[in-house]
Amino acid sequence: MNSFKLLIQNKFRQISKIFSHSKKDLGFHKLRNFYSEYLSREVKVNIYLPPNYDAALTHRYPVIIFNDGQDMEAIKMAETLEGLYRSDKIQKIIVAAVHAGNRMQEYGTAIQPDYMGRGSKANIYSDFIVKELVPYIHTNYRCLINPRYTAFAGFSLGGLSAMDIAWNHPDIFGKVGIFSGSFWWRSRAFNERDPDADRIIIDILNNSSKKEGMKFWFQTGTEDEKSDRNNNGVIDAIDDTLDVIKILESMGYNQQHDIKYIEVQGGQHNQDTWGKIMPNFLTWVFGKRV
């Protein structure tokens, strides 16, 4: 037996208990005793299953993994999914919401920490997602195992993490959603003479080539922040996101088929704004095609 299969079997034995109940029409699992060898800690993961999951024994489903799973209640994920299912606006999907640990160290970019040493465990967190969590979900839930049907999403610093992990693993993730992404993450301290320099995700993308088939959804709010480091009249959260989009477009992605950008007027850097725009993301990523 190869080491990969052994890892998954051991993981299944470790997670000896799954707390399961219904959130109205949804199936809802809390994974217990999910110990990550990479992170050296237990990880809390909530799984939202579509209606009638247990009855539809031959059906397989798209999957979305979310960072900051501890925020799902504030974002009203269960209520949003129920409403979209009732109105028949999205496909039935599996949502895996991963609770953050030390998010300032585990989120970030795998290639390097920022200039203050934050994100020092981002590479380890990436290994956890790719080598432990995704194989576990694929093994224990009825998933469509294909990048076209697998998405990763996150909020703020969790959005930067989602973008970085998805970009580095297009063989797993074909779609990514970033809510108010922390694309300001820098390799060096701010320099007034070159205020937009040293943004790590910008440098990563500038040194990359197109990943065929990937699709991107971005959201910012006009009140995400007040900072305008280059004094161009546009807050940094919007500026940084638009710069990411420009680079993707230069690679050959286009806003008609590959990229969607939503700028929420009055939107703030909080769960209330992200929860209100969540239906837009879910219908984009796995909406019903008519």
- 289 belongs to a structural domain: no
Say if residue 172's pLDDT is above 90: yes
The number of folded domains in the chain is: 1
DSSP 115-140: TTSTTTTHHHHHHIIIIIIHHHHHHH
Instruction: Output the six-digit token pair for 235.
Output: 């807050």
Q: With beta carbons less than 8 A apart as the criterion, state whether 110 and 123 touch.
A: yes
Output the pLDDT for position 240.
Answer: 98
The CA distances from residue 22 to 26, 47, 63, 82, in Å, are 6, 11, 19, 12
Q: CA distances (Å), 287 to each of 84, 99, 204, 216, 282, in order?
A: 9, 25, 30, 15, 7
Q: Is residue 95 part of a domain?
A: yes
Which CATH number goes with the domain that contains 174? 3.40.50.1820
Quote the CA–CA distance of 126 and 105 in Å, as a whole number: 12
Question: Does the pLDDT at position 34 exceed 60?
Answer: yes
In this predicted structure, the answer to whether residue 262 has a pLDDT above a threshold of 50 is: yes
pLDDT, tens digit, 9 for 90 and up, residues 198-240 = 999 999 999 999 999 999 999 999 999 999 999 999 999 999 9
Residues 44-58 have a mean pLDDT of 94
Tell me which of 196 and 16 has the higher pLDDT: 196
- Asked, for residue 168, whether it belongs to a domain, the answer is yes
At residue 65's C-alpha, the angle toward residues 63 and 71, to 5°, is: 130
Label residue 25 by pLDDT band (50, 70, 90): confident
* Residue 267 domain flag: yes
> What are the Cα distances from residue 21, in Å, to 25, 46, 48?
10, 11, 10
SS3 state at 108: coil
pLDDT tops 70 at residue 261: yes
Question: Is pLDDT at 109 greater than 90 in this prediction?
Answer: yes
The mean per-residue pLDDT over the stretch 166-170 comes to: 98
Range(s) of the domain holding residue 261: 3-284
Separation CA 273–CA 264 (nearest Å)? 8
Q: What is the pLDDT of residue 16?
A: 38
